[in-house]
């Protein structure tokens, strides 16, 4: 092991474990890039088929003495998370996949208008999933191939959300990773135990788009774009 992580509380550890669990569900060999500075840890992953980068930021109990930047096995990191102790051990580094060196820019993010609320976004994803299933079931047996299903999927998930540039695959990824789930807040909802949709924002920086929520972010390149890349600024969500 290359070191230890001490989270602000057990809830932070549980949220990280849930995020890692979802990544491993999609890819047992998933890798994550860790960047820690100050009192925050950013965990980057790329769930297969969504064509996006996902990031979960975790609050640390104390500022790190030496900045951390390493790519490790998501499964090994998940196994090391101790929710009761609010900590985890950093596994040995692995050879990073290509995406690990192509993170979104550090700054220059600006908020874009036109993003629907979380409830509407969840409804859009549900409708798109239902459409895919319907079109898949309607395929004649001789056409029910992987390439035809992939074509249908690309057509659906490449559509943009409302009047924004954000592709539906980014919203689907956010929903699947638990970033669009409701939050419980009696203060905001006005009643104990009521569910209030988490506030979200659509941000842009250069050739990148970023869907940010209190639970994490999903970033994707604009269609046909190229440009310089940097690293996310490490800070609590």
* Residue 229 pLDDT greater than 60, yes or no: no
pLDDT, residue 227, reads 44
Residues sharing a CB contact under 8 Å with residue 75, sequence separation 6 or more, in sequence order: 20, 24, 28, 29, 30
* Residue 88 pLDDT greater than 80, yes or no: yes
The domains found in the chain, sorted by start residue, are 3-101 (3.70.10.10), 112-204+215-221 (no CATH)
**Token code pair at residue 219:** 């970033």
Residue 71 pLDDT class (50, 70, 90 cuts): very high
- pTM: predicted TM-score of the whole model, two decimal places: 0.84
Q: Three-class SS of residue 184?
A: strand
Q: How confident is the model over 74-87, as a mean pLDDT?
A: 97
How far apart CA 27 and CA 22 sit, in angstroms, is: 9
How far apart CA 163 and CA 68 sit, in angstroms, is: 39
Give the model confidence (pLDDT) of 155-205 as tens digits: 999 999 999 999 999 999 999 999 998 865 433 333 444 444 447 999 999
Per the listing, tokens 């509380």 go with 9
Q: How far, in Å, are 70, 81, 124, 185, 225 from residue 118 at the CA level?
A: 32, 29, 10, 15, 27
pLDDT, residue 3, reads 85
End-to-end distance of the chain based on CA atoms, in angstroms? 27
């Amino acid at each position: 092991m290359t070191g230890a992580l001490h989270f602000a509380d057990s809830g932070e550890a549980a949220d990280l474990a849930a995020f890692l669990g979802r990544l491993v569900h999609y890819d047992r060999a998933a890798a994550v890039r860790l960047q820690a500075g100050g009192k925050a840890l950013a965990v980057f992953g790329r769930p297969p088929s969504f064509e996006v980068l996902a990031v979960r930021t975790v609050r640390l109990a104390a500022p790190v003495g030496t900045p951390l930047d390493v790519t490790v096995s998501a499964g090994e990191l998940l196994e090391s998370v101790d929710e009761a102790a609010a900590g985890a051990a950093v596994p040995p580094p692995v050879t990073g996949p290509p995406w690990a060196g192509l993170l979104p820019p550090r700054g220059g993010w600006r908020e874009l208008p036109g993003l629907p609320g979380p409830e509407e976004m969840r409804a859009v994803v549900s409708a798109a999933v239902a459409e895919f299933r319907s079109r898949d079931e309607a395929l004649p047996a001789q056409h029910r191939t992987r390439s035809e299903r992939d074509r249908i999927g690309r057509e659906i998930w490449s559509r943009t959300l409302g009047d924004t540039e954000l592709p539906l695959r980014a919203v689907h990824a956010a929903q699947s990773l638990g970033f669009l789930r409701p939050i419980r807040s009696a203060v905001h909802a006005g009643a104990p135990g009521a569910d209030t949709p988490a506030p979200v924002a659509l941000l842009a920086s250069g050739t990148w788009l970023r869907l940010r929520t209190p639970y994490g972010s999903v970033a994707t390149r604009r269609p046909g774009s190229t440009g310089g890349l940097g690293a996310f600024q490490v800070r609590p969500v």
